[in-house]
A = this chain, B = another copy of it.
Amino acid sequence: MTPTIKDVAQKAKVSIATVSLVIHNNEKISYETRMRVNKAIKDLNYHPFRSARGLASRKTGNLAFIVTEDHFLRSEPFYTHIFLGAEFEARQNEYYILLTIIRSDFKQGDRLPRCIVERNVDGIIFAGKVPQDIISCLEKYELPMAFVDYYPPAENYPVVLIDNFSGGMQAVQHLSALGHRHIAFVAGDIQHPSIRDRFQGYKVALENAGLSYSSKMSIIDEAYPARENGYSAAKRLLRDNKNVTAIFSCNDAMAIGVMQFLKESGLRVPEDVSLIGFDDVDAGLSLDPPLSTIGVPKLELGGEVMRLMADMLNNKVKSPKKVLVPVELIKRKSTAEVKIS
């Protein structure tokens, strides 16, 4: 049988309470006993039994990472990276993360994630846009909560967000610096806060560059920002705007669809049309030409939210922090100087 705290106590000739105190670095234990106990722990290769700990202390050492299935599957590489970033950081903090995928149409009364109702987590991380109903339902459990890449309206929790506004500006600045004066914007689900901010950045940068914003140059009513919708958005855009020389796509997934349509229409990238995305997903690199984009440090996002969570769990709370993670322009081959015509 694997050894228990009792075995350690016996071997070190102390009570089990002392062993427990040593494990928790209680400073009241004398140096000698501490050493004796530590030696016994090592000799026996003792490790406390997680379940027993959980029962006694009500701490499980687990965290829930909640994301909707369409976010996770549709834009998978993106949220997967955030998950991994959190997972790596969690390891440093001695936590395990329970990946919990929910439906994006969650409604009050639906069954809640099992790990939460069974009180098998110490806190909850929400990644991406998540239905308000589940947030309300979970608030009752009084667990620490943190958000990444989404922030519910009118709540007060720690949050890690991408600097989408700045990213949108950088993309447009890059294009206008290349001499483009007819810069279009392509997006889906403009309700989404991230995309709205990118759009804002687009508009402000346009203005800064002395270019006028025209709603005809913005396709913002596609269902969601995925490849196929990029294709159809580009189709609509170019039907009505023959003079477009540059397109800023709200993310790489749509940009891939845009590029596909451009090629099929006989337009060369970047010679005829410059194209820039947002997110820097792997696939952009294998495109021909490789996609210029706004790089988002996804692992970093996950790590940062995990750190915020750890702070809460260690009661270093202060007031809930908001972190804005910077993004960077990545110039590849899909953007170039405008053609003089």
Interface residues of A (CB under 8 A from B): 2, 47-55, 58, 60-61, 76-77, 80, 87-88, 91, 94, 96-99, 101, 114-115, 117-120, 256, 263, 282-288
Residues of chain B within 8 A of A286, CB atoms compared:
256, 283-284, 286-287
**CB atoms of B51 and A120 under 8 A apart:** yes
A142 nearest CB across to chain B (Å): 10
Q: Which of B94, B117, B119 contacts A114 (CB 8 A)?
A: B94
**CB atoms of B50 and A118 under 8 A apart:** yes
Residues of chain B within 8 A of A52, CB atoms compared:
51, 54-55
A98 nearest CB across to chain B (Å): 5
Known contacts A77-B77, A263-B288; is-contact A115 B99 (Cβ 8 Å): no
Q: How many copies does the complex hold?
A: 2
Q: Which of B53, B80, B118, B287 contacts A48 (CB 8 A)?
A: B118
Taken together as a complex, chains A and B put the C-alpha atoms of A88 and B286 apart, in Å, by 29
Q: Which residue of B lies closest to A73 (CB)?
A: B84
* Complex A-B: 20 CB contacts under 8 Å: A47-B117, A47-B119, A49-B55, A49-B118, A50-B54, A50-B60, A50-B115, A50-B118, A51-B53, A51-B58, A54-B55, A61-B120, A80-B80, A96-B115, A98-B98, A99-B99, A263-B288, A283-B283, A284-B286, A287-B288
**CB atoms of B77 and A282 under 8 A apart:** yes
Q: Which residue of B lies closest to A291 (CB)?
A: B286
Q: Which residue of B lies closest to A289 (CB)?
A: B288
Residues of chain B within 8 A of A80, CB atoms compared:
76, 80
Q: Which residue of B lies closest to A282 (CB)?
A: B283
A292 nearest CB across to chain B (Å): 15
Taken together as a complex, chains A and B put the C-alpha atoms of A282 and B287 apart, in Å, by 12
Known contacts A119-B2, A282-B283; is-contact A87 B114 (Cβ 8 Å): no
- Counting chain B CB atoms within 10 Å of each CB, the highest count among A2, A50, A87, A283 belongs to A50
Residues of chain B within 8 A of A76, CB atoms compared:
80
**CB atoms of B120 and A50 under 8 A apart:** yes
Q: Which of B88, B119, B287 contacts A49 (CB 8 A)?
A: B119
Q: Which residue of B lies closest to A45 (CB)?
A: B117
Taken together as a complex, chains A and B put the C-alpha atoms of A60 and B96 apart, in Å, by 14
Q: Which residue of B lies closest to A60 (CB)?
A: B51
**CB atoms of B119 and A50 under 8 A apart:** yes
Taken together as a complex, chains A and B put the C-alpha atoms of A263 and B333 apart, in Å, by 15
Q: Which residue of B lies closest to A141 (CB)?
A: B2
Q: Which residue of B lies closest to A112 (CB)?
A: B47
Residues of chain B within 8 A of A94, CB atoms compared:
114
Q: Which residue of B lies closest to A72 (CB)?
A: B84
Besides A47-B119, A87-B99, A287-B287, 20 other CB < 8 A contacts? A47-B118, A48-B118, A50-B51, A50-B54, A50-B60, A50-B115, A50-B118, A51-B52, A51-B55, A51-B120, A52-B54, A52-B55, A61-B120, A88-B101, A91-B101, A94-B114, A96-B98, A96-B114, A263-B288, A286-B287
